[in-house]
Amino acid sequence: MSGILQDPGTIILLTMILPTIGAVLIGLTGKWPNLREAVSLLTGVVLIGLVLTLLQHVLNGGEASIELLDVMPGIPLAFEIERLGMMFAVVASVLWTVNTVYGIGYMRGNNEDNHTRFFACFAVAIGSTMGIAFAGNVFTLFVFYEILTLSTYPLVTHKGTPEAQAGGRRYLGLLMGTSIGFFLVAIIWTWAIAGTLDFELGGILAGSVDEGIVPILLALYMFGIGKAALMPFHFWLPAAMVAPTPVSAFLHAVAVVKAGVFSVLKVVVYVFGVDFLAGTGANIWLIWVASATILLASIVAMTKDNLKARLAYSTVGQLAYVVLGAAMATSLGIVGGAMQIAMHAMGKITLFMCAGAIYVAAHKTLVSELDGLGRKMPFTFAAFFIGSLSIIGLPPTGGAWSKWFLMQGSVEAGDIILIFVLMLSSVLNVAYLIPIAIRGFFAGTEFAGAQPAPVGAAVSPDAKTGGWWQNIEEAPILCVIPLCLTALGCIVLFFFVDPIAAYLNEMLVPVEAPVLPDPTPTTE
Amino acid sequence: MPLAAAPLCLFLGRGLLPWIFATGVCWVAFVIAIALALDLSGGSVITYQMGGWAPPLGIEYRLDALSAVALLIVTGAAAAVSLYSRPSVLREIEPANHGLFYTLFLLCVTGLAGVVATGDAFNVFVFLEVASLSTYCLVALGGRKDRRALSAAYTYLVMGTIGATFFVIGVGLAYMVTGTLNMVDLAQRLPPIGDNRTVAAAFTFIAVGMGMKLAMFPLHLWLPNAYTFAPSAVSAFLAGTSTKVAVYVLIRFLFTVFGLEFDFEQFALIAVFLPLGIAAMFVASIVAIFQVDAKRMLAYSSVAQIGYMILGISLATKTGLTGAILHMGNHAIMKVALFMTMGAIMYRLGTTSIPHMAGLGRDMPWTMAAFVIGGLSLIGVPLTVGFISKWYLIQAALELGWWPIAMLIVMSSLLAVIYVWRIVEMAYLQPSPPNRQISRAPTIMLLPMWVLVLANIYFGIDASFPTTLANQAALLLLGGQP
């Protein structure tokens, strides 16, 4: 056993096989809910173990790659670990497990149907996320990207209502449309130009491509990776809000959108190459599109009363931060972007789990209905507050650091305007997130005398009886614990940012060292 | 050439016997075809002289990598369908005709295999007619459950015969100028004659005739009806083979016989085939979206997929041809599987109209899962065969720098998402009607269906065997002489 587990290549494969086996077992144990959930959790824990083993390996300076078979001559299904993917895998596997715990609580608390299908698809989705994280070439990345889309489709349409169907249709249509319509074309084009699809530091395009094509190719990639939700291809995200909340959390924090921005970073760093991209100036338009997305999405978020819709638009905006980091094409920008993946994951999953908990406990979905609810659900709302801080980028939460690096990146790129974009966006974030927590804690009953709001009055009968702890009507414990954990995580990340920054920095070191990696070795 | 042999002695009554015999023959043929393909993927050529006469005089059989692909398709589809056909034939065809059905089926297989194997232009016509005539009858056998099958067969008969006539006129013209019917000889003698009217006319007649047979876009009218009303097993077999064989003949004549030396041929490829291929991709896909009957929808989708092949052919580059040949095989695998699911649904549900499929995902889980995978392949999702061939087609377009065409290819794949997903949503997201009692499809239907579905995935992941074969075929075709 230990003999097998010492080979990192095998472990990489295991990270994908394990969830698949998990999914099958979940399907088989569908009749015994407790056993089935145990399988889910066990899968999660073992997965984290595997990923951490790999992390250890990477931290020791190890490398690993494994090549399965040639799908087409010269295009293998290959996996390798590098630092960015490693980080993504850690974030995804940890949050997936947390989210599964939460999902169990939510699904039971809410009496949803089809648990077995739900958890089986959930397991397949994390398996394909691992595939994305460890993909060794663009082709492999694309393959798992599509599997992820398909495996999350049943999750999005889980409720089976006409709205769920419409949302699912939009979800699938947009993601498939962009990925096949643009991403695939970009990949094949790259293959035709460079003769290889492997991820290499410094990119594979430099030197073999006409500069006029670069912006077009970049556009195909950036809009093709629809999961990154760059405007105008962001509509699937709000549409996917029909899904049960654990799915939303999964989409927004753990896997799907993160897979999108992760792919963006991967493509920029390993296909185009940071220096090459900055050199051609092809990234300029992307900077503006990303900036526009950040601001517009935040503004739209302010107009949304539905809590999940508001969070969805917030995600659109926050994802554009990562794209912006990539678009800056400076090392600090990339580090900031990569860090944003982790920080935003932590913050957004907290917010979504809070939204879900509120729905389970109080069946409220609108921001305007939340008045005073914070006093009944103090843990949830405290967590929400912390999560908000992290999204905004205020200390003492992890989100502060990613913004910090992004701002430094914009200085490095020489775009001072970007700093203003980032600051303005933070202000907007304050405007749409903080009022939610404030409403929860301060609006409503106690101030009801001054406030004729009927919404507050509805809550008042419960609020007047006894001490504050008696008023607590939290969501099921399985829902509350995970969200408290991730909220704590946001704070912890603030204090332990150094290792992460150092870790990510190292990822880019070799970019500057060898000037020319070696001009495209493979020609057919 | 063991394929041309035997299987006529099939008036074995109406029991199990014809089925067992036919299935056995098909499997033997398939195994032989695999062995041949393995041999031929190296690029060699096998020839056999009928009756021992030397090639220019006698009829020669000749196999290269391209024929190997086509032969694999024909025999593979025949093997799978023959196994599958039993329950569906029992249900859909009058008992008295069972012996007849299998006889015709084998005849059809023989004809198609013969077309592929022969090296003689006129012999192509003969075998084509053998195959076609038996096909008309097979389609007409669907008349038990729906009389419209008869008119569909009749239309098919008329269109098919016109096509065949055109083809034979073309061959006749070529014979007139060259004095030979052997393809290799034709290929040597045609170019020196140069650009003369007779050659151009021969080319046009052959191209139009084959266009008719392979349901190239404006000439496709016979296909939807024939596929829709034929017995399920027949639709499955036809979808996989008959049009593919016609595509094979077209490729054979375009590249081997005529070669690329002629101006008018270049012109025809770029100005006629290319736009028609693209038009097929779009028009047929859009029509497919609005179909109520799933079989009909798949039939239109076939027309669209043929458009891809025509497109690949018209690019006339190595990658383009590889893509077209790959798509020929891949489309056969997925379409046969898809039509098999339709057959199973027909068997249990008695209809293939899409609104009736509500909730079928729960009642017939294996069949619908097969449909989903086949559908994904049709769309061209990675890890399925459909992806591989689209990859090559797009790459071919990009290599020529025709990126608008690449965009058109992907856009039309997205149309496939729409029509496939209509059924998926219906089957999985709609509640089934309350009083429907449906069990899953019989195992003997599921088995070949899933073998094909798994082949879909397997060759989508490990595509090296088909791609080498197709690549080899493309090389031979463009190298002039095989």
Give mean pLDDT, residues A221-227: 85
Give per-residue pLDDT as tens, B173-209.
Answer: 888 888 777 777 777 777 777 667 778 888 888 888 8
Question: Between B413, B463, B467, which is nearest A180 by CB?
Answer: B413
- Cβ atoms A348, A387 nearer than 8 A: yes
Q: What percent of chain A has pLDDT over 70?
A: 88
- Candidates A165, A283, A170; CA nearest to A237 is A170
- Which pair of structure tokens corresponds to residue A267? 């493509």
Domain extent at residue A459? 283-514
Question: Between B391, B417, B462, which is nearest A176 by CB?
Answer: B417
What pTM does this model have? 0.81
CB-CB neighbors (< 8 A) of A147 in chain B: 382-383
Statement: residue B482 has pLDDT above 60: no
Give mean pLDDT, residues A366-381: 81
**Rounded-to-integer distance, Cα B236 and Cα B343, Å:** 8
Q: pLDDT value at position A4?
A: 52
Confidence grade of residue B481 (pLDDT, cut at 50, 70, 90): very low
Length of chain A: 524
Q: Domain limits of chain B? A: 1-261, 278-473
Give per-residue pLDDT as tens, B227-261.
Answer: 888 888 888 888 878 888 888 888 888 887 777 66
- Which pair of structure tokens corresponds to residue A347? 């913050």
- A212, part of any domain: no
Q: Which residue of A has its CA nearest to B415?
A: A177
Q: Does A62 touch chain B (CB under 8 A)?
A: no
Q: pLDDT value at position B50?
A: 54
- Cβ atoms A193, A205 nearer than 8 A: yes
Q: How many angstroms away from the CA of A449 is the closest CA of chain B? A: 49
Interface predicted TM-score (ipTM)? 0.74
Q: Which helix (H) or strand (E) holds A249?
A: helix A245-249
Q: pLDDT value at position B53?
A: 53
- A50, part of any domain: no
Q: Does the distance separating the beta carbons of A185 and B407 come in below 8 Å?
A: yes
Q: Does the distance separating the beta carbons of B376 and A71 come in below 8 Å?
A: no
CB-CB neighbors (< 8 A) of A184 in chain B: 391, 394, 410
Q: Does the distance separating the beta carbons of A191 and B410 come in below 8 Å?
A: no
Task: Give the alpha-carbon dihedral of A50, A89, A488, A245, to 10 degrees.
Answer: -110
Pairing, β B60-63 against β A75-81: unpaired
Residue A16, classified by CB atoms within 10 Å of its CB into exposed (0-12), middle (13-18) or buried (19+), is buried
Confidence grade of residue A464 (pLDDT, cut at 50, 70, 90): very low
- Cβ atoms A23, A124 nearer than 8 A: yes
Q: pLDDT value at position B479?
A: 66
- Candidates A248, A251, A138, A258; CA nearest to A204 is A138
- Which pair of structure tokens corresponds to residue A409? 């990146």
**Rounded-to-integer distance, Cα A180 and Cα B210, Å:** 32
Q: Does B223 touch chain A (CB under 8 A)?
A: no
Give per-residue pLDDT as tens, B35-52.
Answer: 777 766 655 666 666 555
- Which pair of structure tokens corresponds to residue B145? 């459950």
Q: pLDDT value at position B64?
A: 75
- Cβ atoms B234, B131 nearer than 8 A: no
- A110, part of any domain: no
Say which amino acid occupies B15.
G
For chain B, the average pLDDT equals 78
Q: How many angstroms away from the CA of B469 is the closest CA of chain A? A: 12
CA B107 to mean position of chain CA atoms: 17
Give mean pLDDT, residues A55-65: 76
Q: Does A143 touch chain B (CB under 8 A)?
A: yes
CB-CB neighbors (< 8 A) of A191 in chain B: 395
Q: Does A138 touch chain B (CB under 8 A)?
A: no
- A365, part of any domain: yes
**Rounded-to-integer distance, Cα B242 and Cα A303, Å:** 59
CB atoms inside a 10 Å sphere around CB A34: 9
Pairing, β B46-49 against β A75-81: unpaired
Query: To 10 degrees, what angle do helices B232-251 and B65-92 make?
Result: 160
Q: Which residues pair with B273 in a beta bridge?
A: none
**For the ranges A450-459, B34-43, B53-62, B387-396, the one whose mean pLDDT is highest:** B387-396
Give mean pLDDT, residues A230-234: 79
Q: Does the distance separating the beta carbons of A192 and B398 come in below 8 Å?
A: yes
Q: Does A157 touch chain B (CB under 8 A)?
A: yes
Q: How many angstroms away from the CA of B447 is the closest CA of chain A? A: 21
CB-CB neighbors (< 8 A) of A185 in chain B: 394, 398, 403, 406-407, 410
Give per-residue pLDDT as tens, A289-324.
Answer: 888 888 888 888 888 888 888 888 888 888 888 888
- Which pair of structure tokens corresponds to residue A249? 């959390």
Domain count, chain A: 1
Which residue is listed with tokens 């919404």?
Answer: A455
Residues 6+ apart with CB under 8 A from B388: A71, A72, B326, B330, B459, B460, B463, B466, B467
Give mean pLDDT, residues B301-317: 86
CB pairs < 8 Å spanning A and B: 79
Q: pLDDT value at position B57?
A: 56
Give per-residue pLDDT as tens, B314-344.
Answer: 887 888 888 888 888 888 888 888 888 888 8
CB-CB neighbors (< 8 A) of A132 in chain B: none
Interface of A with B in 96-135 (CB under 8 A): none
CB-CB neighbors (< 8 A) of B362 in chain A: none
Statement: residue B143 has pLDDT above 80: no
Give mean pLDDT, residues B132-158: 81
Q: How many angstroms away from the CA of A399 is the closest CA of chain B? A: 36
Residue B229 to residues B92, B133, B223: CA-CA distances in angstroms? 11, 17, 10
What are the phi and psi torsion angles at B120 (to 5°)? -125, 130
- Which pair of structure tokens corresponds to residue B426? 């219906």
Question: Between A165, A189, A192, which is nearest B425 by CB?
Answer: A165
Q: How many angstroms away from the CA of B148 is the closest CA of chain A? A: 35
Q: Does B376 touch chain A (CB under 8 A)?
A: yes
Q: Does A35 touch chain B (CB under 8 A)?
A: no
Question: Between A142, A154, A177, which is nearest B382 by CB?
Answer: A142
Residue A232, classified by CB atoms within 10 Å of its CB into exposed (0-12), middle (13-18) or buried (19+), is exposed
Q: Which residue of A has its CA nearest to B460?
A: A71
Give per-residue pLDDT as tens, B420-433.
Answer: 888 888 888 777 77
